[in-house]
Chain A
């Protein structure tokens, strides 16, 4: 059990509802800082970037795809191709994240994802553990039956029925961002468009104070940047201060909505309002780890993924200019292109499981308790299932048959929202711009999980 949950449990005995969540996080921070000074804490790995060798120079055993620079240095395609061809279920005994199995082919990934009775999503779906003292509870990392109840409580917020009501608002906000972009000069597409639009969307989903929306993106970046969890660059102290701020503002938002409800005012279709209107979840604020878990999961889930697909689409159309021509000649291809962008980018590289029993998979014996990583990024480039998988083809046959949303009971809940946001973005782009030229190499994340861009300089040519 995590320090924070122990701390909270103890608090509950003594009438905890009096201790605001923010102070619970701060308390945990103090505990962790003391432990750190006393060297009682688990060591946090430090990643220093070095040039990654050509995969052909390594023995199979030496291949470590947990390296957080593999994507940044654009070596991931060759590394995963070698594993798919020579050792599709691969064991790495001594990575900085401990030993783990890599599952790299499409069909094997589908098998693992489908069989949640053989492979557990608990305690967490990252290669490494969550930061000590900041272990939140989220249903993405729970098995049935607990998973089913928790997911059911929140999935309505991004269900297609709800989305229909949001479409006009998303379109207006997208149009507003595009209309104010400087043209014919270098601008950073990531900050101006991808982060801005996803932050606006998150603020809408949470009915979060609009002027503070970039905070949501920042919280997500800090959480997804944890070095021991994903090989990222976040600092532990920053993680705690960020978590405390998030806890404070999200709790405050909850109380405001609850007060509204108490006066009989009609609630909106935002996440907290939906939780407040459901009998199973209307008291979630009294279960702080669950409350924060759901908030964090939705913030991260709705942030990196869509953001990096918004940038990835621009890059893909620059690398495959004939597809841009195809698109402009036939904008009806936008929905198909959206699926292809999501496959080609695969914004989240993997999900991790733990074997609940010994399992034979593609000639290897995975032992009970072993970590098993399903590399969606690799499966989406598996030649056995996808023709010319490294090519970006906007009118590809069976374009929706990709792994980026995962399969089985943990399949992405926000898939329809993501597709809608991207569809609207491209519909509005084609109305306005003739070209978005990527100038220079984009900067990529340091992470083994998030496959994205921290900067992508472009120059926009408006329509004549």
Chain B
């Protein structure tokens, strides 16, 4: 998959500086004007450019009715859009995350450049359509950009529904997800047999199962790939905390373990977008910075994986 690399102009640099310096003073709704250019990859089925770092909501956006945490989540979303992000992914399985997204999008204004990715997750085939409608209401969006069958739950029925919705213009892209490596064989079968725009898998420097068959197959069939859990729910970062970052990480501008880990994920040519989840504005900025800088090449990637494995 080809990178759509940012062209940094004086205008972009000025806009980025202003965005970082005066984020709190940004006029709401002006995202397109202030977002810096970030590395994007094309969605194979349409050619649409997608910033290579997105935002996950699993656990982090499930904050219930807590006003303080709702506002914190909205601040994370604002920082994400300011840094040039677009794709936000959620699911009906993620507790109140969809409501939190709705709260944030409503607070930030209608002109956010969000690429809304959600899922259908119900074992009852008849409940799929109503669940999607509820999810749209929670987000406050008229339609989703991407709908995926969550963890292959009742995938045959739900994919039929999603294909009908796509044909009717009720969703732009469709796909499937799994967070379980042991289901990759079934996942692969669906990829072979069904027309898909996207797949979503768990992929990180210590969980490389997808590299063998899933990612090459996605490239071969022209399916966009969303990588979730790039930090293994921060467990990877906790594991690496206090350990030295190798000096050669500077070769691709990784200044922290989180950047090291995220750059490993997004440098795989099959990955269209990684979706790290966070509750912190500084973390979302750090993640988005990965989308602007250089990425490791194949040799460096192997070196990275070996280094972390041996720690």
Binding partners A and B: no
Interface residues of B (CB under 8 A from A): none
Interface residues of A (CB under 8 A from B): none
